[in-house]
């Protein structure tokens, strides 16, 4: 694990429901493919059995397990790897439970184990998200882009980041 200040990434109810529903659908498609249809056709096997299970397995590797603030970097913990956000140029940080409200996903994952990728809404414009519980949103504003994360204790995360980065309290 990275040295620094660690924050968990708890799942909100909408993410739990969306993930459960997606797992049900993907496993259901695979079971239907396995027990019905022309199993001897490669296209059938790929589209009805292998592809849904592969989507599920790949998505597992993108789960957001937590966040670590390490001075110049915010590390987004994933299973076996991490994403990094360079904190140089950070202009402001604030907790806002409505930050992701009315967002449109432009590229990425919209609810299978996390909300991650590129999104857009009227309040933030285009932004990048690494989120698990939208009600815990923290907005990191840089000169050229915006990032949203959802740590377990948003106010503590904001305070710690302001302290480390010496931003105006």
Same domain, 88 and 122: yes
- The phi-psi region of residue 117 (left if phi > 0; otherwise alpha if psi is between -120 and 50; otherwise beta) is left
Q: Is the pLDDT of residue 44 over 60?
A: yes
**46 is in which domain, residue-wise?**
10-60
Q: Quick one: which H or E segment has residue 32?
A: helix 13-35
Show the beta-strand stretches assigned E in 32-167: 66-69, 73-78, 81-86, 90-95, 104-110, 115-121, 125-131, 138-142, 146-149
Residues 23 and 37 in one domain: yes
Q: Give pLDDT tens digits for 116-136.
A: 999 999 999 999 999 999 999
Is 106 inside a domain boundary? yes
**102 assigned to some structural domain:** yes
Same domain, 110 and 143: yes
Q: Is residue 167 pLDDT above 90, yes or no? A: no
Does some domain include residue 17? Answer: yes
Question: Are both 51 and 108 inside the same structural domain?
Answer: no
Do 71 and 101 sit in the same domain of this protein? yes
- Does residue 39 have a pLDDT over 70? yes
Closest CA to 98 of 126, 129, 135: 135
Give the count of domains, the chain: 2
Average pLDDT rounded to a whole number, residues 142-164? 96
Whether 3 maps to a domain, the answer reads no
């Amino acid at each position: 694990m990275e040295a620094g200040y660690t924050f968990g990434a708890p799942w909100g109810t909408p993410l739990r429901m969306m993930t459960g529903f997606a797992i049900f659908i993907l496993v259901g498609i695979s079971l239907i493919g396995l027990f019905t249809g022309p199993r001897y056709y490669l296209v059938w096997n790929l589209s009805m059995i292998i592809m849904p299970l592969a989507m599920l397995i790949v998505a597992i590797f993108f789960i957001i397990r937590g966040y670590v603030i390490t001075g110049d970097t915010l590390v987004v913990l994933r299973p076996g790897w991490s994403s990094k956000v360079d904190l140089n140029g950070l202009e402001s940080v604030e907790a806002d439970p409505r930050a992701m409200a009315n967002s449109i996903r432009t590229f990425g994952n919209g609810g299978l184990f996390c909300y991650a990728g590129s999104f857009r809404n009227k309040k933030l414009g285009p932004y990048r998200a690494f989120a698990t519980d939208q009600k815990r949103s923290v907005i990191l504003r840089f000169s050229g882009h915006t990032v949203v994360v959802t740590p377990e204790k948003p106010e503590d995360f904001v305070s710690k980041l302001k302290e480390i980065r010496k931003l105006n309290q």
